[in-house]
């Protein structure tokens, strides 16, 4: 059904499997506090409202987690990736300073070449800012469908309080006019030059002014809501069934909620708008607290609002009014008003829910966490050296991935290429096919003496890498699904090499398979 408005056609998320309790990090970092340690722990648990966070694994980065979220969104939308006419990716943890996440993810999921591509800044607001940009492109008639992504592997200096919340995750929305899950009723921005948080060029981790963020966050969240209400004189917070804010922690959304219960709303001088912005304690308990996904994931930065919004949509009903207010330091906010449509009922179950990913977790020890952080911040390694499980598989159907191995420079190219990017490389190129779904034949941990074996060599010899599993999960005959992962990188300034790895079937086991619509007219990405 063609809708008169633009809206979300499909959504998807990805949350890494590996998690660590915030208390483990606090105990390690604050152990010199002695008797004061329990007070610090209490403040983190009950003041900042932090419980645990998702940690990207050795083979995961912002692009790989964005890819799975995008695949889920496209599957829910039920469209062909070739129908997508624009891709935006918001992030503040780009694998390449120059080189787009959006084009990588677009290519990984099958989006064509006649598309608009943009990586967006704007700190944690950039994912939802992409939604606004895609919305405008569709309304203009320039494209039929667009894909907006927010993805981050958050960074923090060791021992900085920011480390307690810095998590990893991705959210993705396919927007269009047909078969809507939720229509976008309006979007209102609010921004000012308020540098509460920043990361300089070449700096591995951000800096911040601590408590300054509290005022920056509150004033911009409230400012965006006020601007939305200024455009709609009959609208009030009580009209919304569900509300979610950006979640750097649980503390900041709750602090803002408390401000919205006051007789005089701070930062709002117009009394008629202030009156319509008031929340009750019951509103906070019912409409806002259920979507505090930061308790499960930590602060996923550009993905934060998108993940909490997806969690909300997982439970929403047609006709529900939804308000999502994103925030990015610097400072920027968007207040986005949605109305849930009938299409949501038909599309449930096509992709994993947020809680499916939340509950798919493996608790890691503090030393494993240190290894992951150390590897991520390292800029001098010649290649990706990680503990690996490798083995052989056999296909279970005809669907496959194609990648190329350059025998001249030992590079992995995904998607497959005919020639090496280095014009003076003698080659040759070997194209390899790996099944999307497979059955395990055998598996073993790579012995210590072979730790220097590259993933290129493994793929060349028809061996594959296994991820998101313990060795006990990998029994001969177990069904596997292929996923895109970071397989290597060339020192501190060379290419990042992506390719295929395998894990026990997760998405196919819990999602309803939907055959994408075929593309009838080319180029179909234009309206």
* Residues assigned a catalytic role: 92, 124, 246
Burial label, 98 (beta-carbon count in 10 A; 0-12, 13-18, 19+): exposed
Structure-token match 């598996």, residue found: 443
480 - beta bridge partners? 438, 504
Token representation of residue 238: 């009580």
Report CA 274 to chain centroid distance, whole Å. 34
What are the Cα distances from residue 495, in Å, to 78, 305, 486, 499?
33, 31, 11, 13
Within 13 A of 491's CA, how many CA atoms are on the CB side? Answer: 2
Structure-token match 């395998």, residue found: 502
Tell me if the bond preceding 268 is cis, omega within 30° of 0: no
Angle CA(514)–CA(520)–CA(521) in degrees, nearest 5?
140
Burial label, 247 (beta-carbon count in 10 A; 0-12, 13-18, 19+): buried
What are the Cα distances from residue 42, in Å, to 21, 24, 102, 117, 256?
14, 13, 40, 45, 21
3-state secondary structure of 79: coil
Token representation of residue 510: 């819990």
What are the Cα distances from residue 470, in Å, to 57, 362, 445, 464, 484?
13, 9, 10, 15, 19
Token representation of residue 69: 């979220």
Tell me if the bond preceding 331 is cis, omega within 30° of 0: yes
Mark 57-71 as b/e (b = at least 16 C-beta within 10 Å).
Answer: bbbbbbbbbbbbbbb
């Amino acid at each position: 059904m063609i809708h008169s408005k633009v809206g979300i056609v499909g959504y998807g998320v990805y949350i890494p499997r590996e998690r660590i309790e915030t208390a483990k990090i606090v105990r390690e970092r604050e152990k010199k506090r002695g008797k004061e340690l329990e007070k610090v722990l209490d403040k983190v648990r009950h003041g900042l409202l932090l419980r645990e966070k998702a940690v990207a694994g050795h083979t995961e980065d912002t692009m790989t987690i964005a890819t799975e979220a995008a695949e889920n969104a496209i599957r829910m939308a039920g469209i062909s990736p070739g129908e997508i006419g624009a891709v935006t990716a918001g992030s503040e943890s780009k694998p390449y300073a120059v080189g787009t996440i959006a084009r990588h993810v677009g290519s990984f999921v099958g989006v064509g070449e006649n598309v608009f591509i943009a990586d967006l800044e704007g700190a944690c607001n950039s994912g939802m800012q992409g939604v606004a940009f895609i919305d405008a492109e569709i309304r203009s008639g320039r494209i039929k469908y667009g894909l907006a992504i927010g993805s981050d592997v958050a960074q923090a200096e060791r021992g900085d309080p920011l480390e307690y919340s810095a998590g990893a995750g991705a959210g993705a929305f396919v927007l269009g006019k047909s078969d809507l899950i939720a229509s976008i009723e309006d979007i209102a921005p609010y921004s000012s030059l308020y540098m509460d948080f920043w990361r300089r060029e070449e700096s591995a981790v951000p800096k911040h002014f601590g408590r300054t963020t509290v005022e920056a966050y509150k004033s911009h969240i409230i400012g965006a809501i006020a601007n939305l209400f200024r455009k709609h004189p009959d609208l009030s917070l009580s009209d919304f069934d569900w509300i979610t804010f950006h979640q750097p922690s649980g503390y900041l959304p709750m602090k803002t909620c408390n401000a919205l219960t006051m007789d005089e709303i701070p930062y709002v001088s117009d009394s008629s708008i202030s009156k319509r912005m008031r929340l009750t304690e019951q509103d906070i308990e019912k409409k806002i607290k259920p979507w505090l996904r930061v308790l499960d994931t930590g602060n996923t930065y550009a993905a934060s609002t998108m993940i909490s919004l997806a969690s909300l949509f997982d439970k929403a009903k047609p006709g529900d009014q939804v308000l999502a207010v994103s925030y990015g330091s610097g400072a920027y906010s968007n207040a986005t008003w949605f109305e849930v449509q009938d299409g949501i009922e038909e599309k449930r179950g096509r992709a994993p829910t947020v809680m499916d990913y939340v509950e798919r977790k493996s608790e890691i020890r503090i030393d494993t966490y240190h290894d992951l952080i150390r590897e991520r911040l390292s800029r001098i390694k010649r290649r990706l050296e990680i503990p690996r499980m490798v083995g052989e598989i056999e296909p279970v159907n005809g669907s496959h991935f194609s990648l190329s191995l350059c025998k001249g420079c030992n590079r992995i190219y995904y998607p497959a290429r005919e020639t090496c990017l280095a014009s003076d490389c003698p080659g040759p190129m070997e194209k390899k096919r790996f099944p999307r779904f497979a059955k395990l034949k055998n598996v073993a941990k790579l012995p210590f003496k072979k730790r220097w074996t590259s993933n290129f060599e493994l793929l060349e010899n028809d061996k594959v890498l296994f991820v998101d599993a313990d060795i006990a999960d990998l029994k001969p005959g177990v069904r596997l699904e292929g996923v895109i992962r970071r397989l290597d990188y060339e020192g501190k300034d060379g290419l990042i090499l992506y390719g295929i790895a395998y894990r026990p079937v997760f998405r196919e086991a819990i999602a309803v398979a939907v055959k994408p619509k075929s593309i009838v007219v080319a180029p179909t990405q234009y309206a």
